[in-house]
Structure 1
């Protein structure tokens, strides 16, 4: 019991002396690998005011949350008929916090201030470049098909890095690829959640070769709150919920 109490005391002391919890956590957590998939098919119009505003806010929040320290990485891919080959942007954070373990309080504060300013500038640059990709138009033939399945090997490759992977789809999630073994939700969407679950369980058999790990996945949809069920079919997102979960994803959310 005595050893346990002493251990608890030193653990409490260690936590209390480590500075503010959030700041210490930011600087000691491993890197975050952010994957953003931007829908560049004809069904998503980012020039529409509602979509532009929603997606700009979402991207701002993503960058603020995930860009925290040197080594954090952010890639942007376009979703269209050749998604897995459509990397539009790849950035790695360079801002670095100096080692202040032996520094005086004054020097520590100065180092933290310098790091915060550097990281703030870098976030602003990253946000500007991501916004440029959001606004980019795809008028080529590749905008005719939406191959979301092709994002899975991209996620699997990110998983190999050992970083914490976070995935964001800024898309209507309407998979639309021709072929006997593919899904075309524009032609034949799932009619209800039960059918969506059944299709996902069938499809996962040919997709489980991609080891995606357990990333958090967010589907950020372009639909206004009053969109009809025909436009924003809940069975479509149910399909992806089931598919991603079956492949091992952690939290799968819809916004």
Structure 2
């Protein structure tokens, strides 16, 4: 009798786990919040053939990965002297990925095809909008300074509402501010200095944790670029900087 009871209990628990897994699989994905930062200073030329090819491919990938269902948000900011106030575009996905629980095979296929067609069209529209923003020129005085770190409050604000935030920096990541770091005139000379500066600068944003954010740096440099152009110490600075603010996922592309 005891053995039968254990078997029955095990069956109930297994059934409950299976039902939970099934229900979770049928649910639409959680919404994402994607931030795209385009460098609009003099040091990045989107008309360069290599840069345009690399950046257009990266934009295509991020749109396909992050625009998945109704309510997904993507915002574009321009990096220059006034980055935090330079929101250039906001889009919100309208393609709903409905629950498929209880649908017949025929209805399931129809729903899947309808979703695929709709999301493909919406992704293309968003991709086109991002490419237009990428190619916009900036001839104003703001293009003389590069304030990448001003993106931190923007990311932190998004994290206050959305648990899944990804920030893509299409930039050479050369901070250049008259009143702060200027990696054009004085880049970090080695790994140790990069780490020390990152720790010091991150302290200014100690109240704005980036825990939970994914950071992606899409650099405009070709594989043949010298270390003078594509300075590895600058890249290490940003990895340490974001790490100090709680980001465990910092990717260089």
TM-score w.r.t. the length of structure 1 is 0.91
Partner of 1:60: 60
The one of 184, 187, 209 aligned to 2:185? 187
Partner of 2:3: none
- Going from structure 1 to structure 2, the CA distance change for 1:7 and 1:130 (only over 3 Å counts) comes to same
Tell me the distance in 2 between the aligned counterparts of 1:228 and 1:78. 27
Partner of 1:78: 78
1:221 aligns with 2:219: yes
Partner of 1:201: 199
Tell me the distance in 2 between the aligned counterparts of 1:75 and 1:62. 12
CA displacement 1:97-143 (0-9 Å, x = unmatched): 34443332222221221111111110010000000001111111111
Shift of 1:30: 1.3
SS in 2 for 1:114: helix
Judge conservation of contact 1:36–1:167 (CA < 8 Å) in 2: yes
Q: How many residues align?
A: 247
Shift of 1:207: 1.5
CA displacement 1:172-203 (0-9 Å, x = unmatched): 00000112xx2111110000111000001111
SS in 2 for 1:173: coil
Shift of 1:6: 4.4
Q: Which moved more, 1:1-10 or 1:219-228?
A: 1-10
Partner of 2:104: 104
- Going from structure 1 to structure 2, the CA distance change for 1:249 and 1:103 (only over 3 Å counts) comes to same
Judge conservation of contact 2:171–2:219 (CA < 8 Å) in 1: yes
Shift of 1:52: 0.4
**Mapping of residues 111-126 of structure 1, within 5 Å:** 111-126=111-126
Judge conservation of contact 1:30–1:163 (CA < 8 Å) in 2: no
Partner of 1:133: 133
Partner of 1:236: 234
Partner of 1:92: 92
SS in 2 for 1:183: coil
Partner of 1:7: 13
Alignment root-mean-square deviation, CA: 1.8
Partner of 1:39: 39
Shift of 1:168: 0.6
1:175 aligns with 2:181: no
Shift of 1:165: 0.1
Partner of 2:250: 252
SS in 2 for 1:69: coil
SS in 1 for 2:134: helix
- Unmatched segments (≥5 aa) in structure 1: none
Shift of 1:14: 5.6
CA displacement 1:188-232 (0-9 Å, x = unmatched): 000011100000111111121223332010111000101011000
CA displacement 1:23-58 (0-9 Å, x = unmatched): x47x53311101010101000011100000000000
SS in 2 for 1:168: strand
